[in-house]
Structure 1
Amino acid sequence: MKAIRNICLTLLYLFLLAPIIVVFIVSFDTRQYLAFPPESWSFGSYTKVFANEAFIAAFGRSVVIGLVVGLVAVAIGMLLSMALVRYKFRGRDTIGFLVLAPFLVPSIVLAVGLMLVLSPMGLLDSYAGIMLAHLGITVPYTVRTITMSLMAVDRRIEEAAMVHGASPFTVFRRITLPLVSPGLIAGGVIAFLISFDEATISLFIVSIRTSTLPTEIYRYLEYSTDPQIAALSVVLILISVAVVVLVERLIGLRKAI
Structure 2
Amino acid sequence: MKTKALNRWLIRAGVTLIFLFLLAPILITVVISFSADNILKFPPTGWSFKWYATLFANRDFKGAFQVSLMVAGGASLLAAAVSIPAAMAIARGKFRGKTAVESFFLAPLLVPAIVVGLGLLLVFSPLGLKGTYQGLILANAGLVIPYVIRTTLLSLTTMDARCEEAAQTLGAPPLTVFRTVTLPLIIPGVLSGVVLAFLLTFDEAVVSLFLVSSRVRTLPIAMFDYVQTRTDPQLAAVSTLLIVLSLVIVVVIERIIGLRRVLT
Query: Shared fold by TM > 0.5?
Result: yes
Task: Give SS of 2:178's match.
Answer: helix
User: 1:204 is matched with which residue?
Assistant: 210
User: 1:239 is matched with which residue?
Assistant: 245
Is residue 229 of structure 1 aligned with residue 235 of structure 2? yes
Measure how far apart 1:12 and its partner are: 2.0
* d(CA) in 1 for partners of 2:216, 2:164: 44
User: 2:125 is matched with which residue?
Assistant: 119
Report the number of matched residues: 257
Measure how far apart 1:119 and its partner are: 1.1
Kept in 2, the 8 Å contact 1:71–1:188? The answer is: yes
Give the % identical residues: 46
Is residue 21 of structure 1 aligned with residue 13 of structure 2? no
Kept in 2, the 8 Å contact 1:182–1:255? The answer is: no
* d(CA) in 2 for partners of 1:21, 1:245: 19
Match for 2:74: what amino acid? Answer: V
Match for 2:65: what amino acid? Answer: F
Measure how far apart 1:25 and its partner are: 1.1
Kept in 2, the 8 Å contact 1:26–1:37? The answer is: yes
Measure how far apart 1:38 and its partner are: 0.3
Among 170, 184, 194, the residue aligned to 1:188: 194
Among 3, 9, 14, the residue aligned to 2:15: 9
Measure how far apart 1:153 and its partner are: 2.1
* d(CA) in 2 for partners of 1:97, 1:249: 33
Is residue 159 of structure 1 aligned with residue 193 of structure 2? no
Kept in 2, the 8 Å contact 1:26–1:36? The answer is: yes
Measure how far apart 1:154 and its partner are: 2.3
Deviates more, 1:125-134 or 1:149-158: 149-158
Measure how far apart 1:243 and its partner are: 0.9
Task: Give SS of 1:33's match.
Answer: coil
1:201-222 deviations in Å (ceiling 9; x for gaps)? 1110011121111111111111
Measure how far apart 1:160 and its partner are: 0.7
Is residue 43 of structure 1 aligned with residue 64 of structure 2? no
* d(CA) in 2 for partners of 1:146, 1:36: 43
Aligned-residue CA RMSD (Å): 1.2
* d(CA) in 1 for partners of 2:215, 2:123: 20
User: 2:150 is matched with which residue?
Assistant: 144
Please report the TM-score for the alignment, with normalisation by the length of structure 1.
0.97
User: 1:32 is matched with which residue?
Assistant: 38
* d(CA) in 2 for partners of 1:90, 1:203: 38
User: 1:69 is matched with which residue?
Assistant: 75
Task: Give SS of 2:127's match.
Answer: coil
* d(CA) in 2 for partners of 1:140, 1:98: 9
Measure how far apart 1:32 and its partner are: 1.6
Please report the TM-score for the alignment, with normalisation by the length of structure 2.
0.94
User: 2:107 is matched with which residue?
Assistant: 101
